[in-house]
Structure 1
Amino acid sequence: MEKKIFELSDLEAKKLGEFFKERREKLGYSTNYIEIHTGINKADLSRIENGKKKKINPIYLKQLSKILKLDQIEVLNKVGYIDNEYMPGGALFEEKYNFKLQKNDILELEKLQNDITLYFKDKKIDLDSKKKLLEAMTEVFYEIKAEEKK
C-alpha cells in the first residue's frame, strides 16, 4: 500500500504520540493544561498521543512544539513536512561523503539527534550553539558511516 502524502504510518504515529506524551509528562503538564494553553482539545491530543491520528494539523504541531519546548523544525521533519535534506546535515553531508545513508542509518542518526536535543532542552544552551553541536555530531556520524562503507 502506497503511503499517502502527509499521513503517518501506524508505527510513525505511535512513535510520535509516545514522544509527545513522554515530553508532556516529563514537564508535568496535564492534558487539560495543554488544551487551555494551545486550544488543542483533549480528544485530539489523546488521539495524537495514542497514535490514532495519522494526519496532524501543522498548527497543532507548532503549538505542541512551543508548549513542550521542542524544536519546531525537528517536529515538522518527524512528520514529513520538512525533508531530511533540509535538516542539519542532510544533502550537504551526502554530497561531501559521496553516499546516502540507508534507512536504518537515518533512523539511528535521528535517534541520536533527538537524544541530544532532549538532553539540551532543559539546559542553558543557545539555539546557535545547539545547531553547531548537531551539525558536528552529524558530521562525525557520517564520517563513521563512510569509514564503515569502505
Structure 2
Amino acid sequence: MTTNFGEFLKDKRNSKGYTINQLSLYTGISAAQLSRIENGKRKAPKVENLRKLSDALDVPFGIFMDAAGYSQDDKINEYKQAYERLTDKDELDIAKRMEKIRKDLEEGTGEDGLNFMGEPMSEDAKESLLEALEYAERQATRINKKYAPNKHKKKQ
C-alpha cells in the first residue's frame, strides 16, 4: 500500500508499463508536472486531471479520488458541474440537430408512415423516440466536451 498520492500514481503507471512521457501524451498533463507529483513535490492534481489519469491508466475514478484524499461526493459534484454543463451554444446546436432529425423523420415516413417492427408508430411513440435521441445527443455533447483538448475549449 502506498503512503502518498505520488507513490500511488507511480505504482499505477509502472503497472501499466507506461513511461512518464507516455502518460503525459495520453493525459495532456505535462511530463514535468507528473514527475513532480510522483516525487512528492506537488500535491495531488485537480479533479479534472484525476479523471484524465484514471481514464489513461484504466483505474476506477473513485480509487483515484480516494488516493488523492478527496471527498468523493464534493469533488464529483464539482467535476460534474464543471464538465457536464452545456453552454448556450451547445443548447442551440442540439436544438438545431433535433429539429433536423424531426424533419427527416416526418419527411421520410412515406405513404405508410414511420414504422417500428413493421407497425406504424403513434405520435406518442415518435415523441418518445425524439426524446431518446435528444438525450443521446446531450450525452454525446457532454462526453465530447470532456475529452476535447484544453487548447480547443473555450472559457465558460
TM bin, normalised by shorter chain, reads: 0.3 to 0.5
Q: Which has the higher contact order (CA 8 A, sep 6+)?
A: 1
TM-score normalized by structure 2?
0.41
Q: Which structure has the bigger radius of gyration?
A: 2
Report the TM-score when normalising by structure 1.
0.43
